[in-house]
Amino acid sequence: MSKHILVIDDDKNICEVIKLYLKKEGFEVVIANDGQAGIDEFVRETPALIVLDIMMPIKDGWEVLKHVRKTSTVPVIMLTAKGETFDKVLGLELGADDYIVKPFDPKEFIARVKAVTRRANQMEEESSSIEYTDLDINISNYTVTYKDSIVEMPPKEIELLFFLASHPNKVFTREQLLQQVWDFEFFGDSRTVDVHIKRLRKKLYDQNSGWEIKTVWGVGYKFEVR
């Protein structure tokens, strides 16, 4: 996998600090200082990972993230001064893989980068597809086929479904799912898991195929196979 990282942030001092630490770890770094420039670099360079600020000129980080997720599953780490739980949940729901609040510890930042890139590599290497009645989940090309039709889903919904379906009848707490699917511990509101589950159920609407995403009250969720 490429070690090319795209950093999109309008704070040039922070960009230089990030670049210094990433280069020490062997990463190649490209910097963009506004949202539109970031989109242009993303299209041109096809990075292995994006580090993305929210509050930027021309296009903000939310707009950039939405643009990226239309065409790509590239890992995205939000790096921002916006530390409210609402912003963290929104970032995860829009498809971010991690969310780091400024000011940040450089060693923790590097650890998060390595964790996210490692997760992306594992997703490429593990069994590429799972099949159940009426359902095929292919993680190599991020497609879900349900009742012979392709179902449009953002990357994190597919990864959540793939993870649950990979462990049939096993119950996971919301915190475990955040750690396993988003690959980091998210302290605070775990509502993002509930939102993703609700969307999956709406898209996989018929519960007569011998399986379902089931709520285990007081615990979490499981992919139940009957």
Contacts of residue 142, defined as CB under 8 A and 6 or more positions apart, other chains included, come to: 73, 155, 158
Angle, helices 106-125 vs 12-24, to 10°: value is 60
The answer, as to whether pTM is greater than 0.85, is no
- CA dist 74 and 115 (Å) reads 14
Domains in the chain, CATH or no CATH each:
4-124 (3.40.50.2300), 127-225 (1.10.10.10)
- pLDDT tens-digit readout, 100-134: 888 888 888 998 898 888 877 766 655 588 999 99
- pLDDT tens-digit readout, 62-93: 999 999 988 888 889 998 888 777 888 888 88
